[in-house]
Structure formats: structure tokens, C-alpha cells
């Protein structure tokens, strides 16, 4: 192995090699952080909501005018929706999971200890919420119909029973298994006492990138403020057929309201993640272009140095180098350059990630991204140089005696 002479030769002829090492350093820094951001976004986008997503649709009903009766309309809408062919169940709710819009609150195990508050989304719905969303009740009980409160705007909240997610129970009582927290009382930020009646396995909050993405509390309340989301779970195979019928049916019940957002849960997801999808697409393109340019740079340098050293290669062949030794020379040379690039690139990668963590609320990079990125660029370098190096290795030893 000619590692020593190659290193010494590179040190005496630095410019081209340094430029490539610099390019590799920048590429590693950008691609590792970009891929990490892509992966983090993808995790948000694919995180399960806990809902029976394939069969759920929702529609927003907003009443207007003095004659609009929120309570009567809600009761009638729910009765009609639940009676539709192909509808498994329907409920009214204040916010749609993964939709980017909803309300949150801080919750404590002791009243007044706001500094220890656990953040969670608050959903207000009825005893059909679990069935409609297709949630898995892992402990306790569902609400009974007679404990559902009709809540007029502006009235104070009262102590009540709630259903929480497993993640919420574990956040409130980290030392206990979630199933053992049934019956315990915790407090909302306004010191309202809330008793855990049931626990569901999972129900995502409306904001997928929130760091409390699975902390949810369901209140047995129907808000009578004129604006209702209706969640509808359809029997398998009925969703697409029923989607327009839901709007037509509700529109026929009442002409003092507008209906909007009649969409499937899949559409809700797509709309919510438009910015994330755009960002991951742009970052993927940037990563691909950077990798391509770096590959081209390495090929370019290899072709340039090989053309510049044709006589040297011929001389080496004359002095006894076989094809493999010439090929190995350029592969080792590229490995040395790439190694310098990836070592400095690793340092820059961590530095950029620290900057992003401090300024853009990004989670710290998982350690294995750095060595994985280094390995990918080392392999890219070897792949890029193997073509020119192979052609060099086929050069005739008689090149040594030609005037070139």
C-alpha cells in the first residue's frame, strides 16, 4: 500500500485536493442535517393518530342568524348522521386531530402548580367519541349519555370526569402504569378538578409537530357556540360514497348555517402536511443535487489529475505496476482526500445541528447520522473515482516513452 507516498504527494500538491475535501465537507454538513430534518418531518407525517383514518370524514357546520338554534341543530344533525346508510357512528367535537387547529391547556396533579403543568390538547365531545374515532379504550369506562354537558359560551367550567390518552396519564403520573391511574384527580390550569374515567391507547393532538403530540384530554361536553365539527365513521367501503351525501343531508336539515371542510381524514392529513411535504421535497432535491455535484467534482478532479499525470502513470506501469496497483493508487488517493473532507464535515455537521437546535427548535441530531453520512460520502467518492481510475489503469506502459 502506498499510503505514505500518496499522502506526502497530496501535501505537496494541495489545491485541487483541498477544494474537493472542502466540497465533501460542505456536502456532508448539508446532507446530514437535511436528511435528519426530512426524517423528522416524515416521522411527524406518518405518526399514527389513533383514529380509524381510512373510514373517517369530517364536516364543519357554522350557524348564523338569530333563528339558529345550536342545541337543536346539533341534536338533529347527530340523529340524522347516525341514521345514514353506511355510517357506523358520528359525533360532535371541537377540533379535528392532526388538522393544525384546536385548543390546548396545561394540567397539573396538584392545583396551582402551573410550573409543573403538562400540556395537552383538549377535545370536547360526547359518549360517541371513542366509537366514532375508533379509539382503543385500554382502561376505565366510556362516558355515559347522561353525563354529557351542553356548554353554553361564557359559562364557567365545572369539575368533571375525563378520558385521557395513555401518554397523558404517563406524563401526569410518570411513576405509575397508565392503567392504574383510573379514578385519580388532576387539575386544569383554572384549577378545575378532573377525574380520570377512562384511558385510550392513542389520540393525537391537532398539531403533529408539538412535543406533546399524544397528550389528549376528552371532556364530556358539547359546545353550543354555533360552530361544530361532525366526525363521521363510515362502514368499510362507504366513505367515498357517503362523503357528498353527508353534506347534502346536513344542508337539507337547516338553511341557517354554512357547511365547510367536508373531507376525508386522508385529505385532512394531506392539507396539514403541505408545508412539510414541500420542505422534504425541496430538501431531497438539494441533497440529490449536492451529491451529484460532489460526485461530478470528484470525477472531474480524477480525470484532470489522470490527464496531467499520464506520463507518471505510464512510468509506474513501466516500473512494474499492474492494473490493480494503478486503480488502487487513485482509490487510496481519493480515500485520503475524502477522509479529510468527512472529518471536517462531521465537525461542521454537529456545529450546524447545534445552531439549528438553538435557533429553530429542532431536536438534536441522533449520533449515528454522522458516521452514516461519512460512510455514504466515502463510498460516493470511491464510486466517482473508480471509472477514471479504471481507465488510467488500462493505460499502456509504453506511454512512459512517448513525448506527451
Partner 1 sequence: MLQMTNIGKTFLTGQVQTKALDQINLEVDEGEFVTITGPSGCGKTTFLNIAGLLENATAGQYLLDGEDVSRLGDRQRAKLRNQKIGFIFQSFNLMPDLNLFDNVDVPLRYRGLGRGERHQRIEEALTNVGLWSRRKHLPAQLSGGQQQRVAIARALAGSPRFLLADEPTGNLDSKTAAGVMSLLHEINAKGTTIIMVTHDPVLAQNSRRNIDILDGQIRDDARRNTAAVA
Element (H, E) at 124: strand 118-125
- Phi/psi of residue 55, each to 5°? -115, 10
Distance CA 350, CA 246 (A): 52
Q: What are the cell numbers at 399?
A: 506511454
| List of E strands, 53-116 | 56-63, 87-93, 104-108
Output the smallest distance, CB 309 to partner 1, in A: 9
Output the smallest distance, CB 391 to partner 1, in A: 15
Element (H, E) at 166: helix 166-172
Output the smallest distance, CB 315 to partner 1, in A: 4
C-alpha of 73 from chain center: 38
Among residues 183 and 322, whose Cβ is nearest to partner 1?
A: 322
- Report the interface residues with partner 1, using CB under 8 A: 2, 4-5, 8-9, 12-13, 311-312, 315-323, 325, 396-398, 400-401
- What's the angle, vertex CA 170, arms to CA 169 and CA 173, rounded to 5? 85
C-alpha of 390 from chain center: 43
Output the smallest distance, CB 318 to partner 1, in A: 5
Output the smallest distance, CB 13 to partner 1, in A: 5
Distance CA 324, CA 307 (A): 18
Among residues 61 and 305, whose Cβ is nearest to partner 1?
A: 305
Among residues 1 and 252, whose Cβ is nearest to partner 1?
A: 1
Among residues 9 and 267, whose Cβ is nearest to partner 1?
A: 9
Instruction: Specify the pairing of strand 118-125 against strand 104-108.
Output: antiparallel
- What's the angle, vertex CA 93, arms to CA 88 and CA 95, rounded to 5? 120
Q: What are the cell numbers at 45?
A: 407525517
Among residues 92 and 395, whose Cβ is nearest to partner 1?
A: 395
Output the smallest distance, CB 21 to partner 1, in A: 17
Output the smallest distance, CB 282 to partner 1, in A: 42
Among residues 9 and 105, whose Cβ is nearest to partner 1?
A: 9
Q: What are the cell numbers at 105?
A: 391547556
Among residues 82 and 311, whose Cβ is nearest to partner 1?
A: 311
Amino acid at each position: 500500500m502506498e499510503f505514505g507516498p500518496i499522502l506526502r504527494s497530496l501535501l505537496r500538491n494541495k489545491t485541487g485536493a483541498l477544494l474537493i475535501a472542502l466540497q465533501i465537507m460542505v456536502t456532508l454538513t448539508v446532507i446530514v442535517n437535511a436528511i435528519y430534518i426530512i426524517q423528522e418531518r416524515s416521522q411527524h407525517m406518518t405518526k399514527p393518530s389513533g383514529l380509524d383514518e381510512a373510514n373517517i370524514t369530517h364536516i364543519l357546520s357554522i350557524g348564523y342568524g338569530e333563528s339558529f338554534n345550536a342545541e337543536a341543530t346539533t341534536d338533529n344533525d347527530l340523529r340524522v348522521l347516525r341514521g345514514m346508510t353506511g355510517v357506523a357512528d358520528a359525533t360532535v367535537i371541537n377540533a379535528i386531530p392532526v388538522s393544525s387547529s384546536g385548543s390546548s391547556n396545561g394540567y397539573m396533579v396538584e392545583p396551582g402548580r402551573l410550573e409543573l403543568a403538562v400540556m395537552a390538547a383538549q377535545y370536547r365531545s360526547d359518549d360517541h367519541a371513542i366509537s366514532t374515532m375508533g379509539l382503543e379504550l385500554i382502561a376505565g369506562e366510556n362516558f355515559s349519555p347522561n353525563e354529557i354537558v351542553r356548554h353554553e359560551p361564557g359559562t364557567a367550567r365545572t369539575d368533571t370526569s375525563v378520558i385521557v390518552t395513555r401518554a397523558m396519564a404517563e406524563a401526569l403520573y410518570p411513576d405509575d402504569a397508565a392503567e392504574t391511574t383510573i379514578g385519580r384527580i388532576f387539575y386544569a390550569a383554572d384549577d378545575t378538578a378532573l377525574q380520570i374515567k377512562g384511558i385510550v391507547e392513542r389520540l393525537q393532538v391537532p398539531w403533529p409537530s408539538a412535543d406533546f403530540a399524544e397528550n389528549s384530554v376528552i371532556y364530556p361536553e358539547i359546545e353550543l357556540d354555533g360552530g361544530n365539527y361532525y366526525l363521521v365513521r363510515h362502514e368499510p367501503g362507504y366513505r367515498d360514497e357517503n362523503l357528498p351525501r353527508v353534506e347534502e343531508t346536513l344542508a337539507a336539515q337547516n338553511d341557517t348555517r354554512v357547511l365547510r371542510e367536508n373531507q376525508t381524514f386522508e385529505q385532512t392529513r394531506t392539507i396539514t402536511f403541505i408545508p412539510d411535504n414541500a420542505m422534504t421535497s425541496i430538501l431531497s432535491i438539494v441533497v440529490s443535487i449536492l451529491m451529484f455535484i460532489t460526485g461530478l467534482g470528484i470525477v472531474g478532479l480524477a480525470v484532470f489529475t489522470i490527464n496531467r499525470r499520464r506520463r507518471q502513470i505510464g512510468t509506474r506501469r513501466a516500473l512494474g505496476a499492474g492494473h490493480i496497483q494503478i486503480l488502487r493508487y487513485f482509490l487510496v488517493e481519493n480515500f485520503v482526500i475524502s477522509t479529510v473532507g468527512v472529518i471536517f464535515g462531521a465537525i461542521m455537521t454537529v456545529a450546524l445541528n447545534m445552531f439549528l437546535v438553538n435557533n429553530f427548535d429542532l431536536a438534536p441530531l441522533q449520533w449515528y447520522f454522522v458516521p452514516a453520512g461519512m460512510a455514504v460520502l466515502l463510498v460516493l467518492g470511491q464510486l466517482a473515482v473508480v471509472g477514471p481510475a479504471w481507465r488510467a489503469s488500462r493505460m499502456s506502459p509504453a506511454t512512459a516513452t512517448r513525448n506527451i
